[in-house]
A and B are shown apart, each in its own frame.
Chain A
Amino acid sequence: MKEENIRNFCIIAHIDHGKSTLADRILELTGAIDKRELKSQMLDSMDLERERGITIKLNAVQLSYKYNDETYQLNLIDTPGHVDFSYEVSRSLAACEGAILVVDAAQGVEAQTLANLYLALDNNLTVIPVINKIDLPSADPDKVIGELENIGFEKKDIVLTSAKTGVGVEELLEKIISVIPSPKGDRKSPLKALIFDSLFDSYRGVITSIRVVDGEVHTGDIIRMMETDAVYDVVGLSINNPKEKEVSVLRAGEVGYLFASIKSISDVHVGDTITLDDNPAKEALPGYKPMKPTVYCGLYPIESSKFEDLREALNKLKLNDAALTFEPETSKALGFGFRCGFLGLLHMEIVEERIEREFGIDLIATSPSVVYEVEMTDKSKILVDSPTKMPRRELINKTYEPYVKCSIFTPSEYIGPLMELCQDKRGTFINIDYLDTERVTINYELPLSEIVYDFFDRLKSSTKGYASFDYEVIGYKESNLVKMDILLNGEIVDALSVIVHKDFAYKRGRLVVEKLKEIIPRQLFEVPIQAAIGMHVIARETVRALRKDVLAKCYGGDVTRKKKLLEKQKEGKKRMKQIGSVEVPQEAFLSILSTKE
């Protein structure tokens, strides 16, 4: 296909605004699949994706569409819809020349609509604004048109669609051809292909999704990854339409899959450039960034015998998820588990859920932690991603924590409560942008650790769910951080230690010890529960000693009832974790670790 007849585009939207349904409809209209085989939301191949309405892994589909007697090749590149995957989003945007910005006709512009739009504009994409779901009774297209005008679009460029009924989709396809520019690569130059996704296949190894920018790649070529310098033979090339079809060559402007017997997904970095080993490009494509976890937590199997199963589950997930990191970790309280790193909170939740659902392992997750920077008294710097790795206080000179720029998109009536929330979360106000009189974007600088703690729940509850938010990490700032330990009968329960800002330690400490007092049953002796910073106790409660247990009478010698009672007590003890000499019910950890204020 000549470059002039190729259009590479993606669909970007706030979560649930109908991106996947629109993609389905486009597939159907271009004849890629017929209605009967259309499983709703064809592009989302994982069950979890379909259920949560979140696209986790990327997909690219090649479509063929006739317009004015010319046949065009449309490459639809699907992108993940959440901030945690923003780097993946930006790479798939870099594989396109245009983007369809989908806005729900009832919901209107939301935080991620804006975030995605700015990402698309950063990548110099031509953006087609689409108002979707116009069939909804609550749809208000005129209002949404106004909102789109406020962010710089012209009314005449906006397409109104209902992906559900198919209205407007034809018009959209024509717009894609007439508005989005064709690729402008040089097929004679040395090969430059952008890796915008990778996927592990148990038969073929790692499959990379590529967009050829310059030159050509053929089956049998010897290729080189410019970032990692790894060299491979191209075993096969294919396209999706949307069934996989093998091809012998991919040329500049085209999108497809490349497999090369790559055994580990860690060898393939999204954003890297593929070139030919014997005729390499002079420089790589711009914009490569290694992916770094921003949130860490410990994952432990509730049944300690499932530790090896958990390792296997993580290994399997890692095959398709280069951003997931993990290493074994031991906790006195929880036993053997793994310290895992994630791109963000949603990524963390998805991984936890997949382990529980797909691998059937019940988990205890410790409080999420961000990566802190600690400057030691000898001026050396270390990174701390877990409270257990925090050095002793006297060895610390300064502590730093990651900050984010947080944009909260909200109906204006919630400005007050939201500013209060951000203030409460140690935020620094940047500004408020008015989209119109009713909708605003509040921008704050916030410590990432506060967002990780319970920000999202509080945001939702203080705005009845109307606000949405987005954040990007902007760097480290000095902060007075301390490690707070929880002690049971004088012994530190490692799984409950947290790193907190000193000013908030007391409040957190009180909350945890009070909760523990409720949950820990009376023992044979008195159990002090303390929250402490170093040697300094900041909160204390006591579980009083057990005074009496039930003394069944034995009238008529009916001792079997008493035995049953003891059996029950014995069973109950099996579900207890022994922390030093204290027996703590499993539920205690679960409920403390999910402490909400």
Chain B
Amino acid sequence: MIKSCYIHIPFCNKICSYCDFPKLLYNANYVDKYLDSLEKEIKSIYKNDILDTLYIGGGTPSSLSLEQLSRLFNILGNLKKSIDIEYTIECNFSSLTKDKLELFKKVGVNRISLGIESIDKNNLKLLEREEYTDEIVNKIKLIRDIGINNINVDLMYALPGETIEVLEKDLDFILSLDVEHISTYSLIIEDHTKLKISNIKNIDEDLDYEMYRLINNKLKSNGYKHYEISNYSKDCFESRHNKCYWLNDEYYGFGLGAASYIDNKRITNTRSITKYINNGYSIVCEDLDIDSKIEYEIMLNLRLCCGIDLDRFKNKYGIFLSEKYDYNYLVNTGLLILNNNCLFIPEDKLYISNQIIVKLLQNKL
């Protein structure tokens, strides 16, 4: 049974300079065709599983018109949902209206994810995002008034030119919103983004690290739990959808460029909108054997602060992790901690988790 599903809506009213996800400028004509094709894709693949999490991401899903959103929710109405489903939609501030929020509430959306990223003028200019600082507080109040009380905001940091002081202001502002979940992302300058093309360089590694520590200290001292490398939440508000990824569970992924993990296969959809609206969906398919499933398991679990649950691992694969990988050296040198039968990266070393994961994967028995 697959319990999670991701829906990608690639449309935006404006393209941000750092974004490397499949997206295009909003175009009413394309949206209708896109939704037609999305409906077909879901029908051909979805097997009536009861979903525990449903996540509509983008792009900017809220950039669709009210009618288009109704159409989208009609399509998604065919998906079976558990009673306590976590149902998230990503929104931006300019397109988020009371009408749309009421629609969300009506169809059962119970979690809103908002990209704030920063309130600093220079940062926003670099990211090519509009300023909504004044609107943010009102919109969040509106969301809560409608009755949706699980809100995530995204914060970006380590932007070229950013100082510790700027980050501190951003953090203070976000904390003042008193949201349930905060995602923090250190800027990655990806290929083919506007930033990369303008030859923008990353900030100094050491400053990046200082910023990470500041975020960690500040959010934790304000009651947020650090549960994944980049994610913090209040008690009981961890993103169940994201945890599906980190726990290496299977999920559906529909829409342009969406990734799915179904029947031991990791599938990536095409990033070409013309192909997609002509019903050409998947382009890459990786059929996984047990060894690569285990590699994924390790790599993904270790992003979580609770790490690899060794009992769960044994139940899932029928062998102990220690039969496949020698992690004693890493435990002895303090790069991994073994506690309560969970193997995890110590919090102060999460930021170099790639190195640690690679070291572990190299110690294959």
B208 nearest CB neighbor, chain A only: A548
Task: Evaluate whether A563 and B296 lie within 8 angstroms (CB atoms) in the complex, with A548-B212, A557-B245 already known.
Answer: yes
| B245 in contact with A551 (CB, 8 Å) | no
- A565-B261 Cα distance, complex, nearest whole Å: 19
A574 nearest CB neighbor, chain B only: B362
From A546, A557, A563, contact of B352 by CB (8 A) = A546
List of A residues within 8 angstroms of B245 by Cβ: 554, 557, 559
From B253, B268, B352, contact of A549 by CB (8 A) = B352
Is A544 interfacial (CB-CB < 8 Å)?
A: yes
From A551, A555, A566, contact of B358 by CB (8 A) = A566
| A570 in contact with B286 (CB, 8 Å) | no
A572 nearest CB neighbor, chain B only: B358
Min CB distance, B66 to chain A, in Å?
24
| A547 in contact with B357 (CB, 8 Å) | no
- Give the top 6 A-B pairs by smallest Cβ distance, nearest first: A547-B209, A549-B354, A558-B259, A547-B205, A569-B358, A557-B259
B354 nearest CB neighbor, chain A only: A549
| B299 in contact with A563 (CB, 8 Å) | yes
Is A535 interfacial (CB-CB < 8 Å)?
A: no
List of B residues within 8 angstroms of A546 by Cβ: 205, 352, 355
| A559 in contact with B300 (CB, 8 Å) | yes
Task: Evaluate whether A550 and B361 lie within 8 angstroms (CB atoms) in the complex, with A556-B253, A558-B259, A566-B354 already known.
Answer: no
Min CB distance, B218 to chain A, in Å?
18
Task: Evaluate whether A559 and B296 lie within 8 angstroms (CB atoms) in the complex, with A549-B354, A566-B357 already known.
Answer: yes
Min CB distance, A568 to chain B, in Å?
10
List of B residues within 8 angstroms of A556 by Cβ: 6, 8, 21, 57, 253, 255, 257-259
- A565-B355 Cα distance, complex, nearest whole Å: 11
List of B residues within 8 angstroms of A558 by Cβ: 257, 259, 268
Task: Evaluate whether A557 and B208 lie within 8 angstroms (CB atoms) in the complex, with A549-B353, A549-B354, A549-B355 already known.
Answer: no
B356 nearest CB neighbor, chain A only: A524
- A554-B257 Cα distance, complex, nearest whole Å: 12
B244 nearest CB neighbor, chain A only: A557
Q: List 20 A-B contacts (CB under 8 A).
A: A524-B355, A524-B356, A547-B209, A548-B209, A551-B351, A551-B354, A555-B57, A556-B57, A556-B259, A557-B245, A557-B251, A557-B259, A558-B259, A559-B245, A559-B259, A559-B296, A563-B295, A566-B354, A569-B355, A570-B361
Interface of A is mostly: loop
Give me the interface of A with B, judged by CB distance under 8 Å.
522, 524, 544, 546-560, 562-563, 565-566, 569-570, 573
Min CB distance, B4 to chain A, in Å?
8
Min CB distance, A575 to chain B, in Å?
13
Interface size grouping (class) on chain B: 35 or more
- A548-B202 Cα distance, complex, nearest whole Å: 12
Is B105 interfacial (CB-CB < 8 Å)?
A: no
Interface residues of B in 218-243 (CB under 8 A from A): 229-230, 242
- A570-B363 Cα distance, complex, nearest whole Å: 11
Min CB distance, B189 to chain A, in Å?
10
| B351 in contact with A548 (CB, 8 Å) | yes
Task: Evaluate whether A570 and B354 lie within 8 angstroms (CB atoms) in the complex, with A556-B258, A560-B284 already known.
Answer: no
| A550 in contact with B358 (CB, 8 Å) | no
Is B67 interfacial (CB-CB < 8 Å)?
A: no
| B354 in contact with A547 (CB, 8 Å) | no
| B259 in contact with A560 (CB, 8 Å) | yes
B186 nearest CB neighbor, chain A only: A551
